[in-house]
Structure 1
């Protein structure tokens, strides 16, 4: 699973959109100074954004007809059917004792990773109250973003494994990938699903590094500037038996997908009585030794 992938092989993944809907996504506007985001942990409430965004209508295609052809190393995301044993994903104890080990085992099998480390779990809901988490209520992210950058991906590795072990892995050329595992808590999802950009259609210059300020540190994420070449996909009516794998960073620079922009999206003609979207995401590091 750690083989080199030629850029020519990657580009075939820029597959044509079919069954598209048109919906608006929020992109960052370019600016002279580095954008800054104050996190909810810092503000004690809603995050604060020190940059402008713009809403752009884009075609978002149903990924299901192409799901068997989509991979993390090409598009940067994959849709899988993987039922789970845990029955209550709102139970912190059950998530910690049952779901997290399932997620780590899933990625070891699916990706061929030697080690998988789950390090963060977040529930989200687009209800008025948001979803309950140990650190507060959380709603969907509504700006197109990537969770890590060329700077913050390696830093997360250092934070989790320590400077010495992280440098050993990176110096040896060992591949490390940050992968989010996103699953509905209830379904089918009829409101605020995820829209994901095909990584094979991205330009590096459209990924805008943004400081994310916490009480004790400053991290970095990417926001995405709009470009008409970008192709977008979503999985309609996802159920709790399905999971999206989303790549946030890859240490290898061999032509494979490294960053996957994504955002919640409001679909046209969403029924007024559609229940809130409730989801859970687990952030992981997959190590390939």
Structure 2
């Protein structure tokens, strides 16, 4: 259910998102060495709707994203060891609450912060529209992370890869926008090879997303540290709503001196066995 913590008078904002150039046959992304990335993008003006003011109840099943309110026991999210020991278990519980999963694996933690006073030695916000994994890579991740003692039962059931994104401090700059998964066309997806990956799987591929006027974009203004944005990347049910493309963006309502965004994202795989 939507969690109206911070409000804004704007029903939407107009901004520019960097979409994939559909003529590029294969893009390359490298989390480790940015200079190896080869991604051609085309900027398009886009209206991003304020999800806090929407009458819709956004869910993972209907839209491939939802907002969750959860205060963490972790006080310092830059302490990644504590994050793995405490926050991962909190995330497991949240994912189980919002799916029918009986087993959840958390992986791929990533701190992000801007260069101007943000978290040191972490990646800056990603400013191009993308989905982290394609279907074959997601299948490989499921096989890689499934517990050995329950392998056949879990792999034969439904599973989904869900990102969990939360700010470390209130977001005043470069918020995250997410695509309503019910509005994406498969022709909008363009393969991107991942030269470095947090999944433990290689080779790995994701998608960059090209512009389509039918797409509908949302964000939660002024997200707070006790809020989590869940968005579904891949679902083993091919008919299910998925492919929640996402990107940071320049918010025209942000103050010129707004502090850099600081956030933590983790990826999860939720296994839902057959009855």
Cα gap change, 1:279 to 1:33, in 2 (>3 Å): same
User: What is the match of residue 40 of structure 1?
Assistant: 31
1:67 and 1:116 map into 2 onto residues whose CA distance is 31
1:14-25 to 2 correspondences below 5 Å: 19-25=11-17
- Over residues 176-232 of structure 1, what are the superposed CA-to-partner deviations in whole Å (9 max), with x where a residue is unaligned? 010111100011x11000011111111111111111113993310000000111111
Q: Note if contact 1:126-1:192 (Cα within 8 Å) is conserved in structure 2.
A: no
Deviating more after overlay: 105-114 vs 64-73:
64-73
Q: Note if contact 2:116-2:259 (Cα within 8 Å) is conserved in structure 1.
A: no
| 1:31 paired residue among 11, 23, 46 | 23
- TM-score, normalised on structure 1? 0.84
| 2:110 paired residue among 119, 122, 135 | 122
For residue 67 of structure 1, report the CA deviation from its aligned partner: 7.3
Q: Note if contact 1:127-1:277 (Cα within 8 Å) is conserved in structure 2.
A: no
Q: Note if contact 2:191-2:207 (Cα within 8 Å) is conserved in structure 1.
A: yes
- CA-atom RMSD, angstroms? 2.2
User: What is the match of residue 137 of structure 1?
Assistant: 122
- TM-score, normalised on structure 2? 0.88
User: What is the match of residue 281 of structure 1?
Assistant: 265
For residue 32 of structure 1, report the CA deviation from its aligned partner: 5.5
Q: How many residues align?
A: 261
User: What is the match of residue 203 of structure 1?
Assistant: 185
User: What is the match of residue 271 of structure 1?
Assistant: 255
1:33 and 1:267 map into 2 onto residues whose CA distance is 31
For residue 129 of structure 1, report the CA deviation from its aligned partner: 7.4
For residue 272 of structure 1, report the CA deviation from its aligned partner: 1.8
Give ranges in structure 2 of 5+ residues lacking alignment. 1-9
For residue 269 of structure 1, report the CA deviation from its aligned partner: 3.8
Deviating more after overlay: 189-198 vs 80-89:
80-89
- Over residues 255-274 of structure 1, what are the superposed CA-to-partner deviations in whole Å (9 max), with x where a residue is unaligned? x2121100001111421221
Is 2:241 the counterpart of 1:257? yes
- Over residues 105-126 of structure 1, what are the superposed CA-to-partner deviations in whole Å (9 max), with x where a residue is unaligned? 1111222210111012111012
